Amino acid sequence: MDKNEMPALDHAGIKRDRDRLLNCKSLIVTTSLADKIPEIGTAPFIRHYNYLYIYSSHLSKHTRVLLETKKAQFMLCQDESDAQNIWARHRLKFTAHIVEIARDDASFPLLCDKFEAAFGSTMGLIRDFADFHMLRLEPFSGVLVLGFAKAFEVQGANFEIVSHLRSA
């Protein structure tokens, strides 16, 4: 193999690493209003069908911005203790449209039950708090990073790998 040639990609391994990130319990939220300093937050999430859901308080500024802009960036990140190299932690960054699920929507109690099954009794305490909002994240584009020279463009709610990103 020529020294400038990239080794063949292990597509099954890439998908396995992507899916491992999707099994994280929380994500990082980045929001921004025009001419404002970006807001950063974190939230536990569940995956239901092709979407991710967060249940977040209106008291958190990032939640208010999510409700206003209906779009944000999110990141799932490998735990530092699991990373072989701190500079090359696995991460999935994506942009998503935001849809609020109304409390009277038929899916609302099911989603609350899924949160409780995933994260325990705290959900039972906060599910009726009026300041909390059930938000569906509808991913449409992003980047999956699995190490040095291992960055991939992803698209859609299934985070389909569409290309290997390389420097020019």
Residue bearing tokens 């938000």: 135
Token output for 146: 């699995």
Mean pLDDT of 53-62: 96
- pLDDT value at 2 more than 50: no
List pLDDT tens digits, range 107-128: 999 999 999 999 999 999 999 9
Q: Dihedral of CA 159/160/162/165: which sign? A: positive
Which pLDDT score is estimated for 3? 44
Q: Cα separation of 158 and 164, whole Å? A: 17
pLDDT of residue 5: 45
Amino acid at site 160: E
Q: How far apart are CA 59 and CA 98, in angstroms?
A: 18
53: pLDDT strictly greater than 90: yes
Residue 167, pLDDT above cutoff 90: no
pLDDT of residue 50: 86
Model pTM score: 0.90
How far apart CA 52 and CA 46 sit, in angstroms, is: 6
Q: What is the DSSP letter of 130?
A: T
The dihedral over CA atoms of 119, 121, 125, 130, expressed in degrees to the nearest 10, equals 20
Is the pLDDT score of 6 beyond 60? Answer: no
The Cα 136–Cα 139 span in angstroms is 10
